[in-house]
Amino acid sequence: MARRINPYNKEVKREEAHMVWQTPNGQWTWYVLKAWQIDDDKPFARWYCNVVSPMVGERGETGDVYVADIKSVAVKLDHNPLVKEKKPEPS
């Protein structure tokens, strides 16, 4: 069986996060900086994240977080709130 390549195995900065998850009320945000394995449905799968919450402020704290803990309370965002969308230039 061929090995699958993990596209999220390289650590990135918050502005380039592989994925961003956020609680519905917006108080907690997880910037996924690295995913240790492809199969995130395993019981102890973990992501290396920068986590912003009311307890740690805007810069957040960085460390490993269980994927199941994030997915149980948050939704995946389709954009990174730290990156402003570029406006199309007038033609």
Please, are residues 33 and 48 in contact by the beta-carbon 8 Å criterion?
yes
Give the position of tokens 């149980």: 72
Q: For position 88, what pLDDT does the model report? A: 62
pTM metric for this prediction: 0.87
Domain assignments of the chain as residue spans, ordered by start? 14-76
pLDDT surpasses 90 at 5: no
Give pLDDT tens digits for 51-89. Answer: 999 999 899 999 999 999 999 999 999 999 999 876 566
Q: Give the residue from 40, 36, 60 showing the smallest Cα distance to 48.
A: 36
Q: For position 42, what pLDDT does the model report? A: 85
Percent of the chain with pLDDT over 70: 92
